[in-house]
Amino acid sequence: MRFLVDADAVIAHWGPEYDRCLDRVGEAAAGIPRTANQEQWDLKAGRTPEECAIIESIMQEPGFYSRLEPIEGARQALKAAVKAGHDVRIVSAPYISNPTCASDKFDWVTRHYGKHWASRLILTNDKTVVHGDFLIDDKAKITGSMEPTWEHIVFGDYAYNQDTDNWRIHVWTPNTLLNLEAML
């Protein structure tokens, strides 16, 4: 079985770093929702031009993606699935205008999962072109140029992903991916 697992907000805590960056900006970012209150996946939806500029500057900040902290239990779950003979790939969309996003993501995977996991990282802005059995992603609706081969499972209970009927994983346990296999 092939499991495709998103990085940001699925195996890496994206929100706390984003919130820290907003807080660092100060009063000018006071009206931008922090991740706990982010009701739309699109960060810029409903924001003023000034707020969009702040968001864009954060998203383009070199090193942003390498500073994310790992989500508890994810590493153990992914490694247990590999040990059980499954193919696990980390599939993440790079923020194209961030000059270090791609290298930050490789650095993050290497530091938190080990050097050999870098070969399991797939960076693409169209996850529908990646073949697999399951895609675990925090985004409620994944679109792209192809009909997906995978079943979409939503990760987390974020304000922006509540309106979906997809399967959901709330937290990682060592057997999370192995339990998906058993459900088939």
Active centre residues (catalytic) = 6, 8
Q: Which amino acid makes up residue 140?
A: A
CA angle, corner 133, sides to 128 and 139, nearest 5? 50
Give the β-pairing of 69-70 and 12-13: antiparallel
The 3-state DSSP class for residue 58 equals helix
Query: Rounded to an integer, what distance in angstroms lies between the CA atom of residue 157 and that of residue 164?
Result: 11
Residue with tokens 């699925």: 10
**What does the alpha-carbon distance between residue 68 and residue 48 come to, in Å, rounded to a whole number?**
27
Residue 122: helix, strand or coil by DSSP? strand
Residue 25 is classified by DSSP as H
DSSP string, 59-92: HT-TTTGGGPEEPTTHHHHHHHHHHTT-EEEEEE
Contact between 68 and 159 (Cβ < 8 Å): no
